[in-house]
Chains A and B, each alone.
Chain A
Amino acid sequence: MKGFCLEVKGSYACFTRPEMKVERVSYDVITPSAARAVYDAILWKPAIFWRVTRIEVLAPIRWISVRRNEVGAVASTKKRHIFVEDNRQQRAGLFLRDVKYRLFAEFEFIPPEKRGKVYNPVPDYLHDMEELEIVRQDEKPAKYAAMFERRASKGQCFNQPYLGCREFSAQFRLVDPQVEPASPISETRDLGWMLYDMDYSDPSNIKPQFFRAKLSYGVLNLGNVEVRS
């Protein structure tokens, strides 16, 4: 299956380190799970599973600190409402700014008998008429590749992709790295243990997985990293 490459840009980003969640501190570069979520925001079906293979960092790593008033309470039917003044938490965040990445990913095709249940089917009135033709094709990976290519090249998405938090929206562009070469930053660094993704195989016990991230000349190669839970 051929892979895809998305060029993703944003004014801000926050890929929160799990050990610093209260006063959020971002990882230096996008995590594979956040990169997967960008692909998911454009196209996801129970038939496919996105795997990010390579991340290229095209913009220098820069930071900004922003402190915001947040609410430290969750919604529940047991309460009537939340008063922000009673649940006030001022939290700073150390975010990335002016980020630009190239995210390479391919999807794994899941045969019909192994697919999970759909809980939230897209209502009929939202179906894209032009896409229906592709949908009617046989269950083959190529069908989903065609759907993704169509959406990404037209700027279509299920919801606007974002860089770690929803307020940091991302602009995306499908690029062919052969036609449009780009040079990553020339930074080589060991980024230490970094979140790879969450393991959703058991929905009642979702586990984080980590890997040793090594940035080599601005490239994070995820081809054969060892992932540990």
Chain B
Amino acid sequence: MNCAVPRTTLRRILKRQKPLLRLSANTDLLVHLNFLLFLRRLAEEARINAFQNKSRIIKPEHIIFAAKAILKKSRG
């Protein structure tokens, strides 16, 4: 797995969305951690979906179905 955190990219994404908001030091790392955990949840949910549909591989529809649930869960 690729380990480097794209710190500047993370900051740029937040800047684009909220120009007035600033990030204190090392907060971007936590944002990245949050992002990793989001992907993990999404992957797990998609895997469960794929199992239930007796599919050997994860297909787009499994992810779409999982994404609805996970995006809802990751609301603050």
**A and B from one assembly?**
no
Q: Which residues of B contact A (CB under 8 A)?
A: none
Q: Which residues of A contact B (CB under 8 A)?
A: none
